[in-house]
Amino acid sequence: MGALLASVALQPAAAQTALTPDQQTFFGLYKELVETNTTLSAGSCTQAAAQIATRLKAAGFADKDITQFSVPDHPKEGGLVAVLAGSDRNAKPMLLLGHLDVVEAKREDWVRDPFKLIEEGGYYYARGTVDDKAMSAVWADSMIRFKQSGYKPKRTIKLALTCGEETTFAWNGAQYLAKERPDLIAAEFVLNEGGGGRLSDDGKHQALAMQVGEKAAQNYTLAATNPGGHSSQPVPDNAIYELADAIEAIRGYEFPIKFSDTTRAFFTATAQTTPAPMSAAIKALLANPADAAADKIVSSDKTMHSTLRTTCVATLLNAGHAENALPQRATTNINCRIFPGETVEATAAKLQELAGPKVKLTINQPIRPTAIPTPLDPKIMAPAKAIAAKHFPGVPLVPLMSTGATDGIFFQAIGIPVYGVPGIFIDSDFNGIHGLNERIRVKSLYEGRDYLFDLVKAYAG
């Protein structure tokens, strides 16, 4: 079996799917981007940004319209901003946002080389084929096509490709632009990752989602400390037991249900297409968020549970210093996804209350901005639905609040609403994103490219 897989993986990536000349040009950009290692440990976003800048200049962008940026302490974590000027000075710009960095990938764990684009069985395989090099490549390709065709948008279109989205402690290019270069990325709204589409197991379009708002990701450390001693003489004060009690208290706590305009619209639409008893429970929660019986039913779905509230979960654990000694220290990381409008500090206060006085809580750096509810703007939703009806007739499009987190939060913090656009469909198993053997259906990539190109033109005028 291993020899068979190896022989399949060595087939040329472009040989299996017949592409139009236009698609071949895009594929060249996409393949180059995917095969450029942009992991934090060994890659270079700066190199990837420079390669895209070269393509933009070849398409006719002037040097003044392209800004490549990095900082001395992080020379490989740079990015770029490109600008296509609009004809109407009264129309505020729009910003296309993508991130170039990818999650780490170990060759020994993958069936195929994670940094070589392989086509197999109707899929492109490699790290970043979806997250987020599919959208980043589509955005760059759209800017190139606009320039080469002589398209003159009414609204200025900006493109920002950044690094640092996938790693909490990395230098973050989106945060840098929002804080240090807000003039460069000033816009009326941002189009970002986070939306998309869902496919059935046989590859049929099931649903589209526009991300309208997201949670804020924040980590906290809980620490219990004791003098320790010889394990042959145990005492009641034990750091591991004290930390375990705190973790158990947090495990048993449910943050209260809240609705934003987005989540209310999402659950209202979901109730119309979900069978009983789930549909009745959703309607009951919409009417009364304190309905515990309805909450139990709806929260049996992990996605719905996370969409309803702030969630906090223990993700890392470290304790003790010797097998024959009482523990002097025990710590755990608590990863929270905080509902829009709720603060890092208020969440910390609740966790400390649950943990009790024997355990100390620390808010870990970096501290993320408070998530701001994104307006459910008809000027954004209507074009997305109209173009979806053209490209994907009969497929419903619903607003969705992401339970994860993107770099959009940094733009929200300076007053620019961010929308995770639909268009690129993935399978129900999430296509190996952040895991092994990440992949995207070849058909979905090119369908998404066409949809997003038309969507940008609709917003730009």
Site of tokens 């939306």: 195
For residues 328 and 444, state if they share a domain.
Answer: no
For residues 200 and 99, state if they share a domain.
Answer: yes
Which of 135, 136, 118 is CA-nearest to residue 127?
Answer: 118
pLDDT value of position 9:
38
> Which helix H or strand E contains 240, and what residues bound it?
helix 239-251
Burial (CB count <10 Å: 0-12, 13-18, 19+), residue 123: buried
Enumerate the β-bridge partners of residue 149.
Answer: none
Domains in the chain: how many in total? 2
For residues 108 and 197, state if they share a domain.
Answer: yes
Residue 143 φ/ψ, nearest 5 degrees: -60, -40
Give the ranges where 77-219 is alpha helix by DSSP (H): 133-149, 173-180, 182-185
For residues 376 and 390, state if they share a domain.
Answer: yes
Q: How many residues does the chain have?
A: 461
Structure-block tokens of residue 452: 């997003």
> Which helix H or strand E contains 96, and what residues bound it?
strand 94-99
- In angstroms, the CA 86 to CA 459 distance is 12
In a domain, residue 456? The reply is yes
Coil, helix or strand for 320?
coil
pLDDT value of position 15:
53
- In angstroms, the CA 407 to CA 191 distance is 11
- In angstroms, the CA 459 to CA 155 distance is 8
Question: Domain containing 389: what range?
Answer: 2-214+371-460
For residues 126 and 58, state if they share a domain.
Answer: yes
For residues 51 and 186, state if they share a domain.
Answer: yes
In a domain, residue 285? The reply is no
CA angle, 240 as apex, 238 and 245 as ends, to 5°? 95
For residues 21 and 154, state if they share a domain.
Answer: yes
From 298, 329, 363, the end of a domain falls on 363
The enclosing domain of 192 has a CATH number of 3.40.630.10
In a domain, residue 291? The reply is no
Enumerate the β-bridge partners of residue 426.
Answer: 198
Q: Between 133-149 and 21-35, two packed helices, what is the crossing angle to 10 degrees?
A: 140
For residues 210 and 226, state if they share a domain.
Answer: no
For residues 207 and 120, state if they share a domain.
Answer: yes
The enclosing domain of 344 has a CATH number of 3.30.70.360
Q: What is the pTM of this model?
A: 0.91
In a domain, residue 49? The reply is yes
pLDDT value of position 152:
96
In a domain, residue 184? The reply is yes
For residues 318 and 411, state if they share a domain.
Answer: no
In a domain, residue 314? The reply is yes
In a domain, residue 48? The reply is yes
Burial 140-176 (b: 16+ CB within 10 A, else e): bbbbbbbbeeeeebebbbbbbbbbbbbbbebbbbbbb
pLDDT value of position 182:
98
Q: How many Å is the Cα radius of gyration of the chain?
A: 24
- In angstroms, the CA 167 to CA 74 distance is 14
Strands 189-192 and 418-420 come out as: parallel
For residues 314 and 412, state if they share a domain.
Answer: no
In a domain, residue 272? The reply is no
Q: Which amino acid is at 146?
A: F
Strands 157-162 and 94-99 come out as: parallel
For residues 208 and 329, state if they share a domain.
Answer: no
pLDDT in tens, the chain (461 residues): 333 333 333 344 445 789 999 999 999 999 999 999 999 999 999 999 999 999 999 999 999 999 999 999 999 999 999 999 999 999 999 999 999 999 999 999 999 999 999 999 999 999 999 999 999 999 999 999 999 999 999 999 999 999 999 998 899 999 999 999 999 999 999 999 999 999 999 999 999 999 999 999 999 999 999 999 999 999 999 999 999 999 999 999 999 999 999 999 999 999 998 999 999 999 999 999 999 999 999 999 999 999 999 999 999 999 999 999 999 999 999 999 999 999 999 999 999 999 999 999 999 999 999 999 999 999 999 999 999 999 999 999 999 999 988 999 999 999 999 999 999 999 999 999 999 999 999 999 999 999 999 999 999 99
- In angstroms, the CA 246 to CA 209 distance is 37
